[in-house]
Each structure stands twice: as C-alpha cells, then as structure tokens.
Amino acid sequence: MSTWTIALDDAGIHDPQLRADFTRQRSLVARYKRSAYIAVRLLLPRSLGPHLIAAIAFMHHTDNLLDRGPTVQRVDAYTAWEKEVRQALAAGSSENPVLRSLLHTCARHPCLITHVDDFLATAATDLEFAGFDTELDYQRYLDQYSLPAFMMVASLLAPDAGTCQSDQ
C-alpha cells in the first residue's frame, strides 16, 4: 500500500471518485509547486496532506484563470469560476474534480469555507495586477490577494482546524 493511499485513508477519503480527484490534484500540485508538495508530504500529518493539496490545487486553478490570456477573457473566466465555486459551496456538490476535492476538505474543515469566500471576494485584485509602483501598492496586494490565499492554507494548519473561532 502506497503512502498516498494511506494518506487518503487517514484523511477520511474513501469514495473512489474522490480518491481519484484528490490524486489528480496531487499530481497537479506536485508539477506546479514541487517544493510545496514535498513539504506537505514530509512535514505534515498524513491525514492533513490531501486536504492541503486540495486547497493549493484550488488556489492554483484560480490563479491560472486570473493570469492567463487577454484581460477580457480572464475577467469572464474568473467570473464564471467564482459563480461555479459559490454554487458548489451552496449545493455541497460539483462535477468539477477541483471543487469536489475542495468541498470534501471544507466538509472536514468547515472554517475553510470562510477563507474560500474571502479569497473569492478579493481574487479579482489579481486581474489588474501590473506590478508595484509604491510600497503601498505592494501592501495593498498582500492584504487583498496574498493574505486571503495564505489564510486558506493556514486555517488547515491550525491546531483546531476543524472548529471555527466562533464555535469555541
């Protein structure tokens, strides 16, 4: 039995379709951000790895929509993606493997939903990104785009990642 199979079991991912979805996201993250993938696999509990990979894959997919192609196409692609994500979060299901993995992770770590919502609300900031003219521009970008993205991952690393601050 592979360590990935054990990680999926430990993470509570038993459905064959979900296992395939998480495995697909693992491959994407390993190709896109090898150092992040290796850190997740080596440094974190096996039960957390697939969930972090799902969050990273979701951010990567979103970032690709925001960064690739002419501005009009990127705006349209992101608008459609945001609608699809919000519908999936509301329904609790999706036909999209990126979202199925994310939804399962949100079900296991409900506080992630708030961070996904915050990220979606600010992700369009990246559509107009053309560099930093001032320190204030840099800080604004960090606050409006980088921090919400970081918080999606950080929320999964919190000791009580399954419970929200307001639940305690």
**CA dihedral sign of residues 129, 140, 80, 115:** positive
Q: pLDDT at residue 96 above 90?
A: yes
CA distance 139 to 26: 31
CA dihedral 139, 125, 147, 24 (to 10 degrees): -140
Kindly state the average pLDDT of the residues 48-69: 94
Among residues 87, 85, 92, which one has the least CA distance to residue 110?
92
**What are 105-115's pLDDT values in tens digits?**
999 999 999 99
Q: What is the pTM of this model?
A: 0.89
**What are 127-160's pLDDT values in tens digits?**
877 788 889 988 988 888 889 999 999 999 876 6
What single DSSP character describes residue 161? T
Q: pLDDT at residue 167 above 80?
A: no
**pLDDT confidence of 98, banded at 50, 70, 90?**
very high
- Range 3-167 classified under CATH 1.10.600.10: yes
